[in-house]
Amino acid sequence: MRHNHKRVLVTGGAGFLGSHLCEHLLEQGHDVLCVDNFYTGSKRNIVHLLENRYFELLRHDITFPLYVEVDEIYNLACPASPIHYQNDPVQTTKVNVHGSINMLGLAKRIKAKILQASTSEVYGDPAIHPQPETYRGNVNCIGVRSCYDEGKRCAETLFFDYHRQHSMKIKVARIFNTYGSRMHLNDGRVVSNFIVQALKGKPITIYGDGYQSRSFCYVDDLIEGLISLMNTPDEVTGPVNLGNPGEFTILELAERVIELTNSNSEIRYEALPEDDPRQRQPDITLAREILNWEPKVPLEQGLNPTITYFEELIRSLA
Ligand code: NAD
Ligand code: UDP
């Protein structure tokens, strides 16, 4: 059963996406080493994996070098929610730049294949819609989101330079807004904020007029896309967009969450954060072609299990 097993390192493995990825890789029969400094991640996300003897947890900050032996590296370590990545912006740039250099250096030394969790934020506030991988983006390099946006752009630069200079096997996934279970209660991103507010009967906070749009991908679809990308032939490097092209305004999202939770929360309009992108939708033509991948779970179908997860989390903390 374990004849094709690989030793896989997942940085940021105790986070939202990382914990799902660790779980899927274990199900596929691989040895998983989860590295996390618990900046935004939580032991709760991986506690059920600790009894699996093919799972290992290492508390470590990837801005410092790491010496381990693995076959593949998924580099996910980085706070992803604006409130968290803006809390310590210098550390956010460090995790993307120093962290990526450390993980690329490790991959180079041990000849491992390495995948970078990049982001739709590399497109900034996009002037092209939907966004194909060829679009070079519209990013402010001195704004409050820049530590993340420019950090992730620099990480992509590093991945491609290591690839060209050292013939390394790299994969770059540009992930669009993804949601699902194991998001932190105070994650701060829109889907979790709205669900938690609706479940607690608190006002739903819409920033700006609510007509800005996002495209929301359910976590299971995203993880399948990430693993498919890692398993492509060596000549496939990406960048590849991974996300659900179904696009919704933030107001539409609020209305759906209120409806699905049967909440009597009111909508409260608040100031729009600086540099908040107006629209976002992935062009996934490339992912369809090279990965034969597309998301299967529409928004409403994915919101239900996410709501159940938050209901249980809130109950367990009460
Ligand atoms: P998350 O905040 O839940 O997970 C990030 C994890 O990285 C956390 O467990 C955190 O503790 C860990 N981490 C942070 N700094 C670290 C460091 N210096 N050393 C070791 N571990 C560290 O966020 P997520 O949504 O799971 O995002 C995972 C990755 O995917 C991130 O790189 C993010 O930029 C990328 N991404 C996510 C989305 C999304 O919608 N979820 C979209 C685009 C890109
Ligand atoms: N947003 C909102 N209310 C919230 C949280 C976010 O209206 O409580 C908006 C935010 O301004 C942005 C969109 O929802 O326009 C998505 O925000 P999120 O932080 O989830 O992700 P990102 O902006 O990085 O795509």
Ligand 1 probe mutation, 22, 73, 175, most atoms within 8 A of CB: 175
* Ligand 1 binding pocket includes 122 (Cβ within 6 Å): no
Which ligand is closest in space to the CA of residue 198? 2
Q: What is the pLDDT of residue 241?
A: 98
Token duo for residue 161: 């330079």
Closest Cα to atom 10 of ligand 2: 207
Counting atoms of ligand 2 from 1, which one is nearest the CA of 280? 25
Residue 131 is given by DSSP the state B
Q: Looking at the annotation, which residues are catalytic?
A: 148
Q: What is the pLDDT of residue 4?
A: 77
Q: What is the pLDDT of residue 209?
A: 98
* Ligand 2 binding pocket includes 84 (Cβ within 6 Å): no
Closest Cα to atom 19 of ligand 2: 189
Closest Cα to atom 6 of ligand 2: 190
Closest Cα to atom 16 of ligand 1: 77
165/268 Cα distance (integer angstroms): 51
302/12 Cα distance (integer angstroms): 23
Going from the Cα of 190 to the center of ligand 2, the distance in angstroms, rounded, reads 5
99/44 Cα distance (integer angstroms): 24
Class of domain 7-179+218-244+277-296: alpha beta
285-to-118, 238, 291, 293, 297 alpha-carbon distances in Å:
18, 12, 10, 9, 18
134-to-116, 283, 305 alpha-carbon distances in Å:
18, 10, 34
* Ligand 2 binding pocket includes 196 (Cβ within 6 Å): no
200/295 Cα distance (integer angstroms): 30
Q: What tens-digit pLDDT sequence spans the chain (318 residues)? A: 566 789 999 999 999 999 999 999 999 999 999 999 999 999 999 999 999 999 999 999 999 999 999 999 999 999 999 999 999 999 999 999 999 999 999 999 999 999 999 999 999 999 999 999 999 999 999 999 999 999 999 999 999 999 999 999 999 999 999 999 999 999 999 999 999 999 999 999 999 999 999 999 999 999 999 999 999 999 999 999 999 999 999 999 999 999 999 999 999 999 999 999 999 999 999 999 999 999 999 999 999 999 999 999 999 998
Closest Cα to atom 4 of ligand 2: 190
Instruction: State which H helix or E strand residue 118 sits in.
Output: strand 113-119
* Ligand 1 binding pocket includes 95 (Cβ within 6 Å): yes
Q: What is the pLDDT of residue 212?
A: 97
82/148 Cα distance (integer angstroms): 8
Going from the Cα of 230 to the center of ligand 1, the distance in angstroms, rounded, reads 18
